[in-house]
Amino acid sequence: MKEGPPQRTDETIDQEKNAVQHLVRPTADPERREQLVRTLENMVVELQIENERLEREVSELKTEKAQEAERTESLKRKTQELEELIKDPRRDPELRELIDYDPLMHILNRRGFIHEAERLIAHEEARLEELREHGRREEDEEGEAFLSFLIIDLDHFKKINDTYGHGIGDDVLRAVGQVLKDHIRGKDDYVGRWGGEEMVVALKTYASDVDYAITERLRNAIKNIEVHGTDEGEKVSVSASIGLTRWQEGDDLHGVLAFADTAVYAAKNEGRDQVVTIHREDGKQRIISKKGERLLSPGSATGSPAK
Protein backbone atom coordinates (compact mmCIF):
# COMPACT_ATOMS: atom_id res chain seq x y z
CA MET A 1 0.00 0.00 0.00
CA LYS A 2 1.28 3.46 -0.92
CA GLU A 3 2.36 5.93 1.76
CA GLY A 4 0.56 9.28 2.06
CA PRO A 5 2.16 12.71 1.35
CA PRO A 6 4.91 13.89 3.77
CA GLN A 7 3.71 15.69 6.91
CA ARG A 8 4.14 19.51 7.04
CA THR A 9 5.82 20.65 10.24
CA ASP A 10 5.18 23.95 12.00
CA GLU A 11 8.61 25.16 10.87
CA THR A 12 7.78 24.38 7.22
CA ILE A 13 4.47 26.25 7.48
CA ASP A 14 6.21 29.35 8.98
CA GLN A 15 8.75 29.34 6.16
CA GLU A 16 5.98 29.22 3.55
CA LYS A 17 4.15 32.14 5.23
CA ASN A 18 7.33 34.28 5.30
CA ALA A 19 7.98 33.54 1.62
CA VAL A 20 4.45 34.54 0.62
CA GLN A 21 4.60 37.74 2.70
CA HIS A 22 7.88 38.65 1.06
CA LEU A 23 6.44 38.06 -2.40
CA VAL A 24 3.28 40.10 -1.91
CA ARG A 25 5.11 43.10 -0.27
CA PRO A 26 4.24 46.26 -2.26
CA THR A 27 6.87 47.36 -4.79
CA ALA A 28 7.07 50.19 -7.36
CA ASP A 29 9.48 48.32 -9.59
CA PRO A 30 7.58 47.03 -12.69
CA GLU A 31 10.08 44.23 -13.31
CA ARG A 32 9.85 43.21 -9.72
CA ARG A 33 6.04 43.18 -9.91
CA GLU A 34 6.16 41.13 -13.12
CA GLN A 35 8.59 38.70 -11.50
CA LEU A 36 6.28 38.41 -8.50
CA VAL A 37 3.29 37.71 -10.74
CA ARG A 38 5.18 34.98 -12.63
CA THR A 39 6.37 33.49 -9.36
CA LEU A 40 2.84 33.47 -7.96
CA GLU A 41 1.49 31.93 -11.16
CA ASN A 42 4.17 29.22 -10.98
CA MET A 43 3.28 28.61 -7.36
CA VAL A 44 -0.41 28.29 -8.29
CA VAL A 45 0.44 25.78 -11.05
CA GLU A 46 2.66 23.77 -8.69
CA LEU A 47 -0.04 23.81 -6.03
CA GLN A 48 -2.59 22.61 -8.59
CA ILE A 49 -0.24 19.83 -9.67
CA GLU A 50 0.41 18.88 -6.06
CA ASN A 51 -3.31 18.97 -5.32
CA GLU A 52 -4.03 16.68 -8.27
CA ARG A 53 -1.29 14.32 -7.10
CA LEU A 54 -2.77 14.22 -3.62
CA GLU A 55 -6.24 13.62 -5.03
CA ARG A 56 -4.90 10.73 -7.12
CA GLU A 57 -3.17 9.21 -4.12
CA VAL A 58 -6.33 9.55 -2.02
CA SER A 59 -8.33 7.93 -4.84
CA GLU A 60 -5.79 5.11 -5.14
CA LEU A 61 -5.86 4.58 -1.38
CA LYS A 62 -9.67 4.39 -1.46
CA THR A 63 -9.52 1.94 -4.39
CA GLU A 64 -6.95 -0.21 -2.59
CA LYS A 65 -9.07 -0.15 0.55
CA ALA A 66 -12.17 -1.18 -1.40
CA GLN A 67 -10.22 -3.96 -3.15
CA GLU A 68 -8.86 -5.15 0.19
CA ALA A 69 -12.41 -5.21 1.61
CA GLU A 70 -13.59 -7.15 -1.44
CA ARG A 71 -10.73 -9.66 -1.08
CA THR A 72 -11.54 -10.07 2.61
CA GLU A 73 -15.23 -10.66 1.83
CA SER A 74 -14.32 -13.12 -0.93
CA LEU A 75 -12.04 -14.99 1.47
CA LYS A 76 -14.83 -15.15 4.05
CA ARG A 77 -17.24 -16.58 1.44
CA LYS A 78 -14.73 -19.18 0.27
CA THR A 79 -13.92 -20.14 3.86
CA GLN A 80 -17.63 -20.58 4.58
CA GLU A 81 -18.11 -22.66 1.42
CA LEU A 82 -15.13 -24.83 2.37
CA GLU A 83 -16.49 -25.33 5.90
CA GLU A 84 -19.88 -26.33 4.48
CA LEU A 85 -18.17 -28.65 1.99
CA ILE A 86 -16.22 -30.31 4.81
CA LYS A 87 -19.48 -30.85 6.69
CA ASP A 88 -21.25 -32.22 3.60
CA PRO A 89 -18.93 -33.08 0.67
CA ARG A 90 -21.95 -34.24 -1.35
CA ARG A 91 -22.77 -30.59 -2.05
CA ASP A 92 -20.10 -30.69 -4.73
CA PRO A 93 -21.15 -32.83 -7.76
CA GLU A 94 -17.61 -34.00 -8.50
CA LEU A 95 -16.93 -34.97 -4.89
CA ARG A 96 -20.31 -36.72 -4.69
CA GLU A 97 -19.39 -38.75 -7.76
CA LEU A 98 -16.16 -39.85 -6.06
CA ILE A 99 -17.80 -40.51 -2.69
CA ASP A 100 -21.08 -42.17 -3.64
CA TYR A 101 -20.72 -43.86 -7.04
CA ASP A 102 -19.17 -47.09 -8.24
CA PRO A 103 -16.73 -46.28 -11.08
CA LEU A 104 -17.29 -49.60 -12.89
CA MET A 105 -21.08 -49.96 -12.85
CA HIS A 106 -21.91 -46.22 -12.67
CA ILE A 107 -24.48 -46.75 -9.95
CA LEU A 108 -24.35 -45.87 -6.26
CA ASN A 109 -21.72 -47.66 -4.19
CA ARG A 110 -22.45 -49.12 -0.76
CA ARG A 111 -21.86 -45.81 1.04
CA GLY A 112 -23.99 -43.87 -1.43
CA PHE A 113 -26.86 -46.36 -1.28
CA ILE A 114 -26.89 -46.37 2.53
CA HIS A 115 -27.03 -42.56 2.51
CA GLU A 116 -29.97 -42.42 0.09
CA ALA A 117 -31.84 -45.41 1.52
CA GLU A 118 -31.66 -44.14 5.10
CA ARG A 119 -32.86 -40.75 3.91
CA LEU A 120 -35.73 -42.47 2.06
CA ILE A 121 -36.72 -44.47 5.16
CA ALA A 122 -36.62 -41.33 7.33
CA HIS A 123 -38.84 -39.53 4.83
CA GLU A 124 -41.30 -42.45 4.80
CA GLU A 125 -41.47 -42.54 8.60
CA ALA A 126 -42.11 -38.78 8.68
CA ARG A 127 -44.82 -39.15 6.02
CA LEU A 128 -46.63 -41.85 8.01
CA GLU A 129 -46.38 -39.80 11.20
CA GLU A 130 -47.87 -36.78 9.42
CA LEU A 131 -50.73 -38.87 8.07
CA ARG A 132 -51.53 -40.12 11.57
CA GLU A 133 -51.43 -36.62 13.01
CA HIS A 134 -54.01 -35.51 10.46
CA GLY A 135 -56.16 -38.59 10.94
CA ARG A 136 -55.76 -39.69 7.34
CA ARG A 137 -55.26 -43.15 5.92
CA GLU A 138 -51.72 -44.27 5.20
CA GLU A 139 -51.68 -43.48 1.52
CA ASP A 140 -50.35 -40.83 -0.81
CA GLU A 141 -52.41 -38.87 -3.29
CA GLU A 142 -51.41 -41.50 -5.86
CA GLY A 143 -52.56 -44.38 -3.67
CA GLU A 144 -51.10 -46.58 -0.97
CA ALA A 145 -47.31 -46.47 -1.00
CA PHE A 146 -45.00 -49.49 -0.75
CA LEU A 147 -41.28 -49.19 -0.07
CA SER A 148 -39.49 -52.34 -1.20
CA PHE A 149 -35.89 -53.48 -1.03
CA LEU A 150 -34.17 -55.93 -3.36
CA ILE A 151 -30.85 -57.72 -3.13
CA ILE A 152 -29.60 -59.01 -6.49
CA ASP A 153 -26.84 -61.62 -6.53
CA LEU A 154 -25.40 -62.75 -9.85
CA ASP A 155 -25.30 -66.53 -10.15
CA HIS A 156 -21.98 -68.36 -10.60
CA PHE A 157 -20.13 -65.09 -11.10
CA LYS A 158 -16.86 -66.61 -9.90
CA LYS A 159 -17.17 -69.18 -12.68
CA ILE A 160 -17.55 -66.37 -15.24
CA ASN A 161 -14.33 -64.76 -14.00
CA ASP A 162 -12.50 -68.10 -13.91
CA THR A 163 -13.70 -69.12 -17.39
CA TYR A 164 -13.47 -65.87 -19.36
CA GLY A 165 -11.25 -63.65 -17.22
CA HIS A 166 -11.93 -60.63 -15.02
CA GLY A 167 -12.19 -58.32 -18.04
CA ILE A 168 -15.30 -60.17 -19.23
CA GLY A 169 -16.54 -60.24 -15.65
CA ASP A 170 -16.27 -56.44 -15.58
CA ASP A 171 -18.19 -56.28 -18.87
CA VAL A 172 -20.98 -58.30 -17.27
CA LEU A 173 -21.09 -55.98 -14.27
CA ARG A 174 -21.21 -52.91 -16.52
CA ALA A 175 -24.08 -54.47 -18.50
CA VAL A 176 -25.97 -55.30 -15.30
CA GLY A 177 -25.49 -51.73 -14.10
CA GLN A 178 -27.02 -50.45 -17.33
CA VAL A 179 -29.98 -52.83 -17.00
CA LEU A 180 -30.61 -51.62 -13.45
CA LYS A 181 -30.52 -47.97 -14.53
CA ASP A 182 -32.87 -48.72 -17.45
CA HIS A 183 -35.47 -50.47 -15.30
CA ILE A 184 -35.27 -48.61 -11.97
CA ARG A 185 -35.94 -44.97 -12.80
CA GLY A 186 -38.50 -43.62 -10.31
CA LYS A 187 -37.73 -40.40 -8.46
CA ASP A 188 -37.72 -42.32 -5.16
CA ASP A 189 -35.85 -45.36 -6.50
CA TYR A 190 -32.17 -46.04 -5.86
CA VAL A 191 -29.74 -48.64 -7.20
CA GLY A 192 -26.38 -49.49 -5.69
CA ARG A 193 -23.52 -51.96 -5.78
CA TRP A 194 -23.37 -53.57 -2.35
CA GLY A 195 -20.11 -55.35 -3.05
CA GLY A 196 -18.65 -57.72 -5.63
CA GLU A 197 -21.49 -59.14 -7.73
CA GLU A 198 -24.21 -58.12 -5.26
CA MET A 199 -26.49 -55.15 -5.94
CA VAL A 200 -29.24 -53.49 -3.91
CA VAL A 201 -32.36 -51.59 -4.92
CA ALA A 202 -34.79 -49.34 -3.04
CA LEU A 203 -38.07 -49.21 -4.91
CA LYS A 204 -41.21 -47.18 -4.16
CA THR A 205 -44.48 -48.29 -5.78
CA TYR A 206 -48.15 -47.40 -5.39
CA ALA A 207 -49.99 -50.64 -6.05
CA SER A 208 -49.83 -54.15 -4.67
CA ASP A 209 -47.50 -56.61 -6.46
CA VAL A 210 -46.02 -53.92 -8.72
CA ASP A 211 -42.68 -54.35 -6.94
CA TYR A 212 -42.72 -58.09 -7.74
CA ALA A 213 -43.59 -57.45 -11.40
CA ILE A 214 -40.73 -54.94 -11.73
CA THR A 215 -38.34 -57.37 -10.05
CA GLU A 216 -39.31 -60.17 -12.45
CA ARG A 217 -38.76 -57.91 -15.44
CA LEU A 218 -35.38 -57.02 -13.99
CA ARG A 219 -34.44 -60.68 -13.59
CA ASN A 220 -35.43 -61.42 -17.20
CA ALA A 221 -33.48 -58.40 -18.48
CA ILE A 222 -30.35 -59.59 -16.66
CA LYS A 223 -30.79 -63.06 -18.16
CA ASN A 224 -30.95 -61.54 -21.66
CA ILE A 225 -27.74 -59.53 -21.32
CA GLU A 226 -25.50 -59.91 -24.38
CA VAL A 227 -21.87 -60.26 -23.35
CA HIS A 228 -19.53 -62.36 -25.47
CA GLY A 229 -16.80 -64.24 -23.67
CA THR A 230 -14.64 -65.28 -26.64
CA ASP A 231 -13.52 -63.95 -30.00
CA GLU A 232 -15.80 -66.54 -31.61
CA GLY A 233 -18.78 -64.77 -30.04
CA GLU A 234 -19.65 -67.28 -27.34
CA LYS A 235 -22.41 -65.72 -25.22
CA VAL A 236 -21.75 -65.56 -21.48
CA SER A 237 -24.59 -67.05 -19.48
CA VAL A 238 -25.79 -64.51 -16.93
CA SER A 239 -28.57 -64.89 -14.37
CA ALA A 240 -29.43 -63.53 -10.95
CA SER A 241 -31.07 -64.63 -7.73
CA ILE A 242 -33.12 -61.82 -6.24
CA GLY A 243 -34.51 -61.38 -2.76
CA LEU A 244 -37.46 -59.01 -2.32
CA THR A 245 -39.10 -57.69 0.82
CA ARG A 246 -41.08 -54.64 1.88
CA TRP A 247 -40.09 -52.11 4.46
CA GLN A 248 -42.36 -51.88 7.48
CA GLU A 249 -42.59 -48.99 9.90
CA GLY A 250 -39.96 -49.44 12.59
CA ASP A 251 -37.48 -51.21 10.29
CA ASP A 252 -34.04 -49.73 9.95
CA LEU A 253 -32.04 -50.29 6.77
CA HIS A 254 -29.98 -53.12 8.27
CA GLY A 255 -33.13 -54.92 9.41
CA VAL A 256 -35.02 -54.77 6.12
CA LEU A 257 -31.94 -55.78 4.10
CA ALA A 258 -31.48 -58.78 6.41
CA PHE A 259 -34.88 -60.07 5.23
CA ALA A 260 -33.99 -59.44 1.59
CA ASP A 261 -30.69 -61.26 2.15
CA THR A 262 -32.52 -64.25 3.59
CA ALA A 263 -34.73 -64.26 0.49
CA VAL A 264 -31.60 -64.30 -1.72
CA TYR A 265 -30.25 -67.32 0.15
CA ALA A 266 -33.57 -69.08 -0.41
CA ALA A 267 -33.40 -68.26 -4.14
CA LYS A 268 -29.88 -69.68 -4.34
CA ASN A 269 -30.81 -72.84 -2.46
CA GLU A 270 -33.92 -73.41 -4.57
CA GLY A 271 -32.13 -73.37 -7.93
CA ARG A 272 -31.05 -69.76 -8.59
CA ASP A 273 -32.33 -67.49 -11.43
CA GLN A 274 -35.52 -66.57 -9.59
CA VAL A 275 -37.18 -64.01 -7.36
CA VAL A 276 -37.98 -64.99 -3.79
CA THR A 277 -40.11 -62.76 -1.59
CA ILE A 278 -40.33 -62.54 2.17
CA HIS A 279 -43.79 -61.29 3.11
CA ARG A 280 -44.43 -60.10 6.66
CA GLU A 281 -47.93 -59.75 8.03
CA ASP A 282 -49.60 -60.18 11.44
CA GLY A 283 -46.29 -61.07 13.03
CA LYS A 284 -45.69 -63.93 10.59
CA GLN A 285 -42.96 -64.15 7.97
CA ARG A 286 -43.61 -66.14 4.80
CA ILE A 287 -41.13 -67.11 2.10
CA ILE A 288 -42.77 -67.10 -1.34
CA SER A 289 -40.89 -68.81 -4.18
CA LYS A 290 -41.45 -71.09 -7.18
CA LYS A 291 -41.89 -73.95 -4.75
CA GLY A 292 -44.75 -72.20 -3.01
CA GLU A 293 -45.05 -70.60 0.41
CA ARG A 294 -43.69 -71.55 3.77
CA LEU A 295 -43.36 -69.89 7.14
CA LEU A 296 -40.02 -68.49 8.19
CA SER A 297 -39.16 -68.87 11.85
CA PRO A 298 -38.41 -65.52 13.54
CA GLY A 299 -34.69 -64.85 13.48
CA SER A 300 -33.92 -67.76 11.19
CA ALA A 301 -31.99 -67.71 7.93
CA THR A 302 -31.76 -70.15 5.09
CA GLY A 303 -28.01 -70.53 5.13
CA SER A 304 -25.21 -69.11 3.05
CA PRO A 305 -25.09 -70.99 -0.25
CA ALA A 306 -22.32 -70.97 -2.82
CA LYS A 307 -22.41 -68.13 -5.31
3-state secondary structure of 242: strand
Find the range with the poorest average confidence among 73-87, 166-180, 271-285: 73-87
Share of the chain above pLDDT 70, in %: 83
3-state secondary structure of 200: strand
Return the higher-pLDDT residue of 300 and 235: 235
Closest by alpha carbon to 228, among 171, 153, 158? Answer: 171
Burial of 41 (C-beta count, 10 Å sphere; 0-12/13-18/19+): exposed
3-state secondary structure of 146: strand
Q: What's the pLDDT at 43?
A: 83
Confidence check: pLDDT of 137 > 60: no
* Strand duo 240-246 + 275-281: pairing: parallel
Q: Please provide the average confidence, as pLDDT, over all residues in the chain.
A: 85
pLDDT in tens, 175-186: 999 999 999 988
* pLDDT band at residue 306 under the 50/70/90 scheme: very low
Burial of 51 (C-beta count, 10 Å sphere; 0-12/13-18/19+): exposed
Find the range with the poorest average confidence among 102-111, 133-142, 160-169, 271-280: 133-142
Q: What's the pLDDT at 8?
A: 55
Q: What's the pLDDT at 303?
A: 43
pLDDT in tens, 198-225: 999 999 998 888 999 999 999 999 999 9
Closest by alpha carbon to 241, among 216, 205, 208? Answer: 216
Confidence check: pLDDT of 242 > 60: yes
Q: Does domain 96-296 have CATH number 3.30.70.270?
A: yes
Q: What's the pLDDT at 9?
A: 61
Q: What's the pLDDT at 207?
A: 84
Question: Average pLDDT for residues 94-117, to the nearest whole number?
Answer: 91
Return the higher-pLDDT residue of 143 and 275: 275
Q: Which of 43-52, 100-109, 133-142 has the highest mean pLDDT?
A: 100-109
Confidence check: pLDDT of 292 > 50: yes
Q: What is the pTM of this model?
A: 0.70
